[in-house]
Amino acid sequence: MYTLDDTIAAISTPLGHGGIGIVRLSGPDALAVARRVFDRWTAEPAVDPHHLYHGHIVRPETGRRVDEVLVSYMPAPHSYTRQDVVEINAHGGLLPLREILALCLRHGARPAREGEFTLRAFLNGRLDLAQAEAVRDVIQARTEASLRVAVEQLGGRLSQETRALRRRLVRALAYLEAGIDFPDEDLPDEEIAGPLGAVLAGLEALLSDASRGLIYRQGVRVAIVGRPNVGKSSLLNRLLQMERAIVTPVPGTTRDTLEETIDLRGVPVVLVDTAGIGAPRDVVERLGVERSEQAAARADLVLLVVDGSAPACAEDEAVARLVGQRPAIAVVNKEDLPQADDYARLLPDAPHLRVSAATGAGVRALEEALAEAILSGQAQAGAEPVVSDPRHRDLLQRAADALRAAQETLGAEGALELVAVDVEEAVQALGEITGETAGEDLLETIFRSFCIGK
């Protein structure tokens, strides 16, 4: 399915207008293709690697210049893909980059697929699979904390710990197979039980912080809900520290959902401002209410906003019933006005905080409560979590479950063959993290999520 014998090309920078854009080639003919279109190398007897050459991309048939460029050549194995790589640094307009790419394709390269440069880096052993996935996570990081987690994974932190655990299991599996093949030998059980217990403890340590790692990587969605005119959009603006949503004294100003992201203790938090939930006056408001209800249902956490200057009403109670048992915080807004104190019955199990979106009073405490709820009481530790990808978490969990089953069989003095089956399952799961036991279907799924050119 995958071949390393041809040369691929793609635009490796975001499409649009910019100062610089890069067309990248990788493969055995990367230099030959570049020689055909780069005037400095057309008659150059030898190209110095890792040097920048100034010149022009030209159409070989006519000699017409396409763009003024800087070009570098990185021979295998000293390149990102461990193949010959050429990078053409051109002006960042869409038209010159597309013309340069078209010339490369016309003269010996083929279009790269999603993530194919990083796939080649993996297949050639420069990166393992977990590190390759970290390349995508570095690109997509939305906060400094999520970037740090991705960079740690790119550096091989998870891979090193996973490989060490897998090596211990492989040795235990070899010992098990020896016991199966030579049943007359009296092999002590602790030679198996000890390593299984130690590896299981290592897996549990990795899994213990996985939820925080996933939050840093994926972020959370927080829906701001309430009846009309309680200050939901004002609260959004206050949390964003900018005037993003339109705010007026007229009830029902917000008629659709509005999403913006903030960085809260390193966690990307998507705030979803919603239309007031109440009796709709027209079809537009009815659609807005439906979208508000959908936003609340999809949210990881809900902020129920009420007007603290007026008694709780039936609409407030209806919204509270809509929130139900979802993780929530009750926000009693308009603290700067005379207060009504009858909101305790709304979401009685949720924290209640009084704020003023108009003045900012109480908003810092609300941010702290949000962070506490999102991180489930976990303080922001000095070390970043090792596990931040759902695929890795699920594989670690699979390995841990298999080892527990192996321990149970071993403790019940069951057949060593059954113990070996479970240990082999754990070895397989850990190998899928780094790619040692990954099949083509898994690779196709992972690299399809990459952008073309990376």
Q: Which domains does the chain have, with CATH numbers?
A: 8-127 (3.30.1360.120), 134-209+387-435 (1.20.120.430), 225-374 (3.40.50.300)
Asked if 356 and 362 count as a contact pair (C-beta separation under 8 A), the reply is yes
Other CB atoms within 10 A of residue 442 CB: 14
Task: Render the burial of 199-211: b for 16+ CB within 10 Å, e for the rest.
Answer: bbebbeebbebbe
Asked if 174 and 416 count as a contact pair (C-beta separation under 8 A), the reply is no
Tell me: pLDDT of 222 over 60: yes
The H or E element containing residue 69 is strand 65-74
pLDDT at 187: 59
**Cα dihedral 58, 60, 63, 65 in deg (nearest 10):** -10
- Cβ-proximal residues to 184 (8 Å cutoff; 6+ apart), any chain: none
Average pLDDT over residues 41-56: 91
Residue 425 pLDDT grade (very low, low, confident, very high; cuts 50, 70, 90): very high
Asked if 369 and 353 count as a contact pair (C-beta separation under 8 A), the reply is yes
Tell me: pLDDT of 213 over 50: yes
pLDDT at 115: 92
Cis peptide before 77 (omega within 30 of 0): yes
Instruction: Name which of 83-92, 132-141, 290-299 the model is least confident about.
Output: 290-299
Q: How far apart are CA 102 and CA 98, in angstroms?
A: 6
What's the Cα-to-Cα distance from 22 to each of 19, 103, 207, rounded to whole Å? 10, 14, 39
Closest CA to 382 of 140, 136, 152, 138: 152
Average pLDDT over residues 342-360: 87
Tell me: pLDDT of 261 over 60: yes
More confident residue, 264 or 428: 428
pLDDT at 314: 86
Instruction: Name which of 90-99, 180-189, 335-344 the model is least confident about.
Output: 180-189
Q: How far apart are CA 163 and CA 131, in angstroms?
A: 13
Average pLDDT over residues 383-405: 92
Tell me phi and psi for residue 306, to 5 degrees.
Answer: -130, 160
Mean residue pLDDT of the chain comes to 87
Tell me: pLDDT of 22 over 70: yes
Q: How far apart are CA 33 and CA 40, in angstroms?
A: 13
Average pLDDT over residues 49-75: 95
